[in-house]
Amino acid sequence: MSNSKIPLESNDCLVVLCFQHLQMQMRYRDTNVGNEPLVPELPEVETVRRGLEPHMEGTIIDRVELRRKDLRFPFDNDFAKKLDGQRIISIGRRAKYLLVDIDNGLVLVMHLGMSGSFRVEQAGLVDQPGEFALPKGVNKKHDHVIFHITSAAGAKTRIVYNDPRRFGFMALIERSKIESHPWFVDMGIEPVGNALNGDYLAGKFHHKKAPLKAALLDQKMIAGLGNIYVCEALWRAGLSPERSSYTLARKSGKATAKANRLAGHIRDVINEAIAAGGSSLKDHRQTDGSLGYFQHNFAVYGREGEPCRKSGCTGKIKRLVQSGRSTFYCSKCQR
């Protein structure tokens, strides 16, 4: 396979497609959000997957350029050699992991950590929607991994992984061993399909005394469900984050109306966020560099002291800390 590079002497000849959903660089949310570090949630990761898919799926990896020996963890032995010359079959996602299926039977597993992002660089690209430009704040000294790929039509592309804090990681796992791998073996169901229903929640929470929010964040129960969207779903369902988890089940173990209602709202809030391109907090951006819009729809998250948006409710949004994470809720309409 060719090892030719895209010339970079002049950025004027390039159209740079920037995936800035996860360019956090250890910045912090404002005090309304408890000064917590920005971390990607499932909709952000799914948005990155959808952005990478048309540029990577079906292409040949000419070579992989590693600019350091590790990210959060050291790269596998012969990491680059195992990918060189291989074809990318598909790009999937499990929870907050990106899964790149390779035709040699391996899966490239990628996690973006806190500050990871991808940038797609193509020479001579035309007729692309939106205005694409390299945004300020992308420091190329943090470009740690570059995938040089070629499409079936012969177009050369560079997929650049940038990670200032290096909390992300990449590993190669045999496709047949993915489900039994320690990262995935105990992982719960995805929060976007019909498998997440009232009966599932009731069955998992029947004997749990933990606060409802803490139980929902347990990745062994529901994979990829994060802090922001749990707060939003609980508000929509009218359920207190401090409610005991077992109250979602009847004594018989069957689902209550509350469990059915909550399951539906979890699916809805995640799917709406994916459709909107993620929560787009701070540096999270759409593939065309513009900010997404789902953050403007937050009913409780980051709105401490503001009026509750539920029709007829006169309460105000409160904040409490549970397991080190900020929880936002309305104590008047969430019971």
Residue-wise pLDDT for 58-89, tens only, equals 999 999 999 999 999 999 999 999 999 999 99
| 164: Cα separation from own chain's centroid | 18
Q: Could you tell me whether strands 317-322 and 325-330 are parallel, antiparallel, or unpaired per DSSP bridges?
A: antiparallel
Lowest mean pLDDT among 8-12, 71-75, 105-109, 165-169: 8-12
Neighbouring residues of 324: CB distance < 8 A, sequence distance ≥ 6 = none
* pLDDT given for residue 137 in this prediction: 37
Higher pLDDT, 53 or 15: 53
Architecture of domain 11-177: Alpha-Beta Barrel (3.20)
7 is catalytic: no
40 is catalytic: yes
Share of the chain above pLDDT 70, in %: 78
Which residue among 40, 43, 164, 191 is the active-site one?
40
* pLDDT given for residue 284 in this prediction: 37
* pLDDT given for residue 96 in this prediction: 94
pLDDT band at 120 (very low <50, low <70, confident <90, very high): confident
Which residue among 41, 44, 46, 190 is the active-site one?
41
Provide CATH 1.10.8.50 ranges for the chain: 198-296
Q: Which amino acid is at 150?
A: T
Provide CATH 3.20.190.10 ranges for the chain: 11-177
The whole-model pTM stands at 0.82
Q: How far apart are CA 335 and CA 333, in angstroms?
A: 6
Which residue among 213, 236, 258, 325 is the active-site one?
325
335 is catalytic: no
Report, as an integer, the average pLDDT of 193-216. 96
Domain 198-296: assigned CATH number: 1.10.8.50
Which residue among 49, 63, 96, 261 is the active-site one?
96
**What are the φ and ψ backbone dihedral angles of 251, each rounded to 5 degrees?**
-60, -30
129 is catalytic: no
Answer whether 255's CB lies under 8 Å from 201's CB.
yes
Place of tokens 């529901």: 222
Q: Please list the residues that pair with 70 across neighbouring strands.
A: 74
Share of the chain above pLDDT 90, in %: 67
